[in-house]
Amino acid sequence: MQETTTVPGLEGVRPDLAAAFGRLPPLVDEDAELAKATFPIPSDSLIGLTKAWLASQVEDDGMDWFADDFRFVAPVVGPFDKDEFVDSLKGFDLPSAFPDLQANPHHFRVCPFEPNRVWWSVKYVGKNAGPIFGRPATMKSVESPVQAQSATFNERGEITKFTIGYVLDKETGNTGGLGGVFGILYAIGRGLPFPEAQPWKASPIYSAGMGFNKQIQKTFKANPSLKEGFFTAVSSIGK
């Protein structure tokens, strides 16, 4: 009898799933893509520059890391140029409102398709223990979803683009699925008073469409022949 090799850690996994272990979808060869790059700063150095910039931000040392053509882009906010971005940070003054706020940056990697761009993830955790917008602290805690951020560099090591707030799983945390500053403010009950700074809500048209789609799927499931006939008829249109 042929022996089967048990992969460590999969002993309790459903047998058919464990048997599928080792199969791979078509994957991009990241090393090959990066090897084709002409950008002069290598991946490890680019990640090191990114971490150094983040440390500079935390320490508020006043260093100017931004190129003259810098742009800040978030899911809703932006693009901002350098001056607009710096002014917006001063306006919120998050360090005073959240003295213990931690971004928890992790999973740094260089994009194989944009070799001058570093991606990483963050998860904001902290408590509103200081005044915000002239109002007293709420003493409420923030736990954001994990969010994707990126920094794009030029050949001088300056940052030309910074993106934040792209939530990976809107069902996690207590920010209503929002990323960036909007999510932090919503979590403490100080969400800004416009739709883009509030949790996403389906429009009436979208809700009606989704409800109609569910009814169609239920009908097709109960009547497979009807589904087959429907798609046959649709595919024949225009032939």
Amino acid 1: pLDDT: 36
Helices 204-222 & 224-236 angle (0-180, nearest 10): 120
Give Cβ neighbours of residue 18 (< 8 Å, ≥ 6 apart): 6, 7, 10
DSSP 135: B
Residues of the chain with pLDDT under 50: 1-3
Amino acid 3: pLDDT: 45
What CATH architecture applies to the domain 28-197?
A: Roll (3.10)
CA separation for the pair 34, 17 (Å, rounded)? 33
CA separation for the pair 73, 51 (Å, rounded)? 19
Amino acid 228: pLDDT: 72
Amino acid 89: pLDDT: 72
Establish how many alpha carbons lie within 13 A of residue 100's alpha carbon, considering only the half-sphere containing its beta carbon.
Answer: 10
The single-letter code of the amino acid at 119 is W
Amino acid 4: pLDDT: 53
The per-residue pLDDT for range 73-87, each reduced to its tens digit, is 999 888 999 999 888
Amino acid 131: pLDDT: 93
Amino acid 229: pLDDT: 73
